[in-house]
Amino acid sequence: MEEKKSNLLSRGDLFSMAVGQIIGVGIMTMTGIAIGFTGRSVNIAYITAGLITIIGAIPQIYIGGTANFVGGQYSQIAVLSGKKMAGIYLYIQLFSALAISMYTLSFADYFLSLVPGVPSKLICTIVLTVLFGMHLLGVKQAARLQNILCAVLAVAIASYIVLGVGHIQPDYFTNGFLAGGSGGFVLASIYLTFAAGGAQYVVNYSSAAKNPTKDIPFVIIASTGIVVLIYAVMATVAVGVLPVEQVANQPLSVSAAAFMPKAVYTFFVVGGAMFALLTTLNFNIGMIVYPVLRACEDGWLPRKLAVKNEKYGSAHYILLLFYLIGTVPILIGLDLNTVANSTVILFTIIRGVIAFSAMQLPKKLPELWGKSSFYVNNGKLKAMCIFSMALAALSVAVLLISTSMVQIIGNIAILIFSIVVALLVNKRVTLNPSFTENSR
């Protein structure tokens, strides 16, 4: 069922969604770790990470700018890399839904630091009910909520920057710059790509966008670039107001405490972190619906789940399923953090799969690719996609070094499970046309 034009997402809505996805609580902790690698050159490392992230997303932009894939990355992989690969992606994506409970529990921890004594399970249930309720009312309502959340988050970030800039030490470039040498700088830049990434997943909102083939490529580049520049300024403040050794491997709250009044400090640490969690959670609830919706229609999951609400156009059964996935573990006290974190390496590998899929555009969609605004010749296409795959492989290597053995084993177990189930279900799956030539 085609959604009404007025209920579709504008470029501004998509931009807000993407920004909310990129900005997470990772900025609070990852900056300090990167400072430990490279010292006061962390700001340049952030900009480098942003460039790497945008270059790595170019294959995704090639695909998204060629056709409107209504199931997002699921449909892209299905059309360009085949049915079995799409099934594997889908089942990995289902495991990532367990992160819903992880984000909610983290939000509850911050909330309890302000208002101790409130039952954690109650907070989690209220947050999930409100957010899922917004998505039940339609993706446009969820986007409006995202706009509000991002506005508050922007105030928190602005308070850190505005109050901190005047406290940056005059010896910034002469004491602790490139502290870890070229090797430390490279490591910091690669590490920070995990803080800069996330905008590419806005492609999963393709079927809910007014003008996806034009707006989504723009949003991926613009949101990543703007957020990274903000991060670079925040990093400059973080490492500039105190000696490097005092902020290395420490959260941003350490530097914030040096120049913020207590009330503003509380708003930044708690309010900023809490709203970063909410924007990421809100994005992920909507992001996962569209690939799963298309996969249900193809037969990977029960087709009855794909029913949409006639009034709001929301996939209420799918939303209810993920609502239960998010709330039941919390209510019974089951700790799923390890499982939820055990898809990080797999989704980094999927970036490489997307790059491989983009290489198939001339063969699988020759006419559409030839008319694409992002068309390049085969040599340039292959070179860019191979480079993107190499970046994904490098990111996986960094993760293997820094990830616990339990989570590495978890990634392997989820991958094996997804492959086995995809092979078993494959025979009863029939891929339906899952892309359109033009925007609306």
Q: What is the pLDDT of residues 124-141, one digit of tens each?
A: 999 999 999 999 998 888
Q: What is the pLDDT of residues 148-162, one digit of tens each?
A: 988 999 999 999 999
- Per the listing, tokens 């239960």 go with 324
Contact 267, 159 (CB under 8 A): yes
The pLDDT value recorded for residue 3 is 52
Average pLDDT over every residue of 20-47? 88
Q: What is the pLDDT of residues 237-287, one digit of tens each?
A: 999 999 999 999 888 888 998 999 999 998 888 778 888 889 888 888 888
Which residues are registered as beta bridge partners of 68? 436
pLDDT greater than 50 at residue 440: no
Average pLDDT over every residue of 401-419? 88
The pLDDT value recorded for residue 438 is 59
- Categorize the per-residue pLDDT at 217 as very low, low, confident or very high, splitting at 50, 70 and 90: very high
Cα dist from 319 to 92, 135, 303, 313, whole Å: 18, 8, 14, 12
The pLDDT value recorded for residue 355 is 95
Domain ranges across the chain? 5-431
Pinpoint the alpha helices (H) of 374-404. 378-402
The pLDDT value recorded for residue 75 is 93
The pLDDT value recorded for residue 176 is 83
Contact 74, 297 (CB under 8 A): no
The pLDDT value recorded for residue 70 is 87
% of residues, the chain, pLDDT over 90:
45
CATH 3.30.1660.40, applies to 5-431: no
pLDDT greater than 90 at residue 173: no
The pLDDT value recorded for residue 312 is 84
Average pLDDT over every residue of 342-351? 83
pTM, rounded to two decimals: 0.86
Tokens of 242: 């105190």
The pLDDT value recorded for residue 439 is 52
Cα dist from 347 to 73, 95, 235, 343, 406, whole Å: 11, 11, 27, 6, 17
Q: What is the pLDDT of residues 348-404, one digit of tens each?
A: 899 999 999 999 999 999 999 999 989 999 999 999 999 999 989 988 888 888 778
Whole-angstrom distance, CA of residue 14 vs CA of residue 428: 35
Tokens of 85: 């690969």
Q: What is the pLDDT of residues 69-110, one digit of tens each?
A: 988 899 999 999 999 999 999 999 888 887 788 788 888 888
The mean pLDDT of the chain is 88
Whole-angstrom distance, CA of residue 49 vs CA of residue 55: 10
pLDDT greater than 60 at residue 166: yes
Pinpoint the alpha helices (H) of 197-261. 212-240, 244-247, 252-256
Average pLDDT over every residue of 197-217? 88
pLDDT greater than 50 at residue 65: yes
Helix H, strand E, coil C: the string for 135-201 is HHCCHHHHHHHHHHHHHHHHHHHHHHHHHHHCCCCCCCCCCCECCCHHHHHHHHHHHHHHHHCCHHH
pLDDT greater than 60 at residue 2: no
Tokens of 54: 């945008």
